[in-house]
Amino acid sequence: MAFTLLARLTKSTSLLGIALMSASAACANPSDDKRSEFVDVGSLLPNAVLDIRYFGHHNFVGKPVDGYNAPKCLLHNSAAKALKNVQIAAQIQGLSLKIFDCYRPQRAVDHFVRWVNDLEDTRTKAEFYPNLGKDKLLGDYIAAKSGHSRGSTIDLTLVDAKGKELDMGSPFDMFDTLSNTDDPRISAEQKANRYKLKTLMTEGGFAPYSMEWWHFTYQPQAYPATYFDFVVE
């Protein structure tokens, strides 16, 4: 009797363990198996300049961001191939692409949300959001989900033959209406530079984002409803 009861308990425990393992697998990010479809843009575009801001300290968080284990630009292969054509077109004009961010893990986006909710941390205010309170950033500027996590969005600018950035009128990641592509306060030269970038990108199949002159998304997106979370490495 005791042996039978023990056997039943052992069998139940084993079945419970299998069920828990199955549940854990079900909770795992189902998109991780798509990692092989992402390309290291630095290898594909060796002449492009990489300045992956969230890998280092020069960003609005003020320190390396979760999920960036290497200063790499990863994109879904469809977007990466299109970007290569943009780089070729830019080089014909004596220019080159300078890339700030590409694929962004969901854990990095979560890091941004934690940062924006820490209202006492304003170390980077002077550079990145001088005219806004930090409590105003959530929503228009910092979101809980980002198109970057889908693998088809990129933040970038243009540099000349000497590697100098073209004057765009505001720096990358400046949270201000000054960063709107058509903000009326920028000079004619700055607007021309923004439109030079916009034209190159749109002709390459990338859609602009009017609030940020540096932000473009390849169309159609390979995974328009997925938010990947594998680390950049």
Known catalytic residues are 212
Band (31; pLDDT cuts 50, 70, 90): low
CA 165 to chain centre: 20
Q: How far apart are CA 105 and CA 67, in angstroms?
A: 6
Q: For residue 159, what is the enclosing H or E element?
A: strand 153-159
Confidence check: pLDDT of 114 > 90 = yes
Which of 9-13, 127-131, 220-224 is the least confident region? Answer: 9-13
Confidence check: pLDDT of 7 > 90 = no
Confidence check: pLDDT of 1 > 80 = no
Note whether 70 and 60 are within 8 A (CB): no
Note whether 214 and 180 are within 8 A (CB): no
pLDDT tens across 40-98, in order?
999 999 999 999 999 999 999 999 999 999 999 999 999 999 999 999 999 999 999 99
CA dihedral 68, 70, 72, 73 (to 10 degrees): -10
Is 155 exposed, middle or buried (CB count within 10 Å of its CB: 0-12, 13-18, 19+)?
Answer: buried
Note whether 158 and 90 are within 8 A (CB): yes
Please report the domains of the chain, with CATH numbers, ordered by start residue: 35-218 (3.30.1380.10)
Band (14; pLDDT cuts 50, 70, 90): very low
Confidence check: pLDDT of 155 > 50 = yes
Q: DSSP for 36-91? A: GGEEEHHHH-TTSEE--GGGSS-STTSSPPTTB-SS--EEEHHHHHHHHHHHHHHH
